[in-house]
Amino acid sequence: MAKHPELALRVEPGSKPALHRFDCADTLGWEKDAAKAELDDVKARLDTLQYRLAAEDRRSVLLVLQAMDAAGKDGTIRSILSGMNPAGVDVVSFKAPGGPETAHDYLWRVHAAAPARGRLGVFNRSHYEDVLVVRVKSLVPPAVWKRRFDHINSFERLLVDEGTTIVKCFLHVSKDEQRRRLQARIDDPEKQWKFRAGDLDDRAKWDHFMAAYDEAIEETSTHDAPWYVVPADRNWVRNLAVSSILVHALEQVDPQYPPAAAGVSGMKVR
Ligand code: AMP
Ligand code: MG
């Protein structure tokens, strides 16, 4: 078994993710019990690295989560961030634009939500909706969404150049597993609130969404801001994979404590 199978989920620049051939129920060679213990270990490392990121206060990290409904974006966020200091993490959920957002370009709200120095940002949906749902539902003409891949690559390069490390995860749930999960939402009074009739409209356009994801990932998986396609039919695999990808990114950043101010070392408090 590969030491870090989750890193092999990265989509190399210029290559096609071929989502229809992907095994959404893959365990990546992991076993469930061992994976639970491993997740605790990864979360402890995330906590330390986030603390150091905040202490250093020079760079930031952005995790982008994209997925079809019920793939588990919310569950992933709850699972992998629960060991970290909430004061250092910004989770931003992007819904259909409204109010002043509609009066600006599509990246305006996204740039404003990008993590400040020292912070870990998590996007629950993102600017990718502007080349995904917007495309599938024909909210803008093809000529408009097609040129957005270039904007997005330039925008992400700007963030990277200015000190943000970006990792993007597509949580890939199978159509069959989505059916089970949507049905469970409908059948459980405590989960009904999560269900929107619109989820079924999106589900009916499944193949269109997959084609849109395929192209978006191919066009925007770059050296600086890579995409990872994460098998999401098993929550425990998904959680360990995303948290391991994130901890790897933070380890590459390797944030450092700033040096003590002159004269502080050895000082005695009276
Ligand atoms: P959820 O994340 O399930 O709460 O749903 C949010 C909804 O907002 C999804 O149906 C998204 O497709 C939609 N959404 C997010 N961003 C955009 C966007 N830029 N344009 C249109 N719809 C969007
Ligand atoms: Mg939803």
Enter the tokens of residue 25.
């129920």
Which residue from 63, 77, 90 is spatially nearest to 253, judged by alpha carbons?
63
Residues 60-72 as b or e (16 or more Cβ within 10 Å = b): bbbbbbbbbbbbb
Residues with Cβ within 8 Å of 54's Cβ and at least 6 positions away in sequence, in order, are: 85, 88, 118, 119
Other CB atoms within a 10 A radius of the CB of residue 202 amount to 18
pLDDT tens profile 78-117: 999 999 999 999 999 999 999 999 999 999 999 999 999 9
**Residues with Cβ–ion distance below 5 A, ligand 2:** 69
How far apart are the CA of 125 and the centre of ligand 1, in A?
A: 7
How far apart are the CA of 77 and the centre of ligand 2, in A?
A: 14
Angle between helices 32-56 and 73-81 (to 10 degrees): 70
Instruction: In whole angstroms, give the CA distance from residue 176 to residue 23.
Output: 12
The answer to pTM > 0.75 is yes
pLDDT at 133 over 70: yes
pLDDT recorded at residue 207: 98
Over residues 221-241, mean pLDDT: 98
Cβ(248)–Cβ(51) under 8 Å?
Answer: no
pLDDT at 1 over 80: no
Over residues 52-77, mean pLDDT: 98
Confidence of residue 177 (pLDDT cuts 50, 70, 90): very high
Residues framing ligand 1 (Cβ under 6 A):
69, 94-97, 125, 129-130, 133-134
User: Ligand 1, from 91, 110, 127, 129: best to mutate by most atoms within 8 Å of Cβ?
Assistant: 129
pLDDT tens profile 201-223: 999 999 999 999 999 999 999 99
Cβ(173)–Cβ(68) under 8 Å?
Answer: yes
How far apart are the CA of 68 and the centre of ligand 2, in A?
A: 8
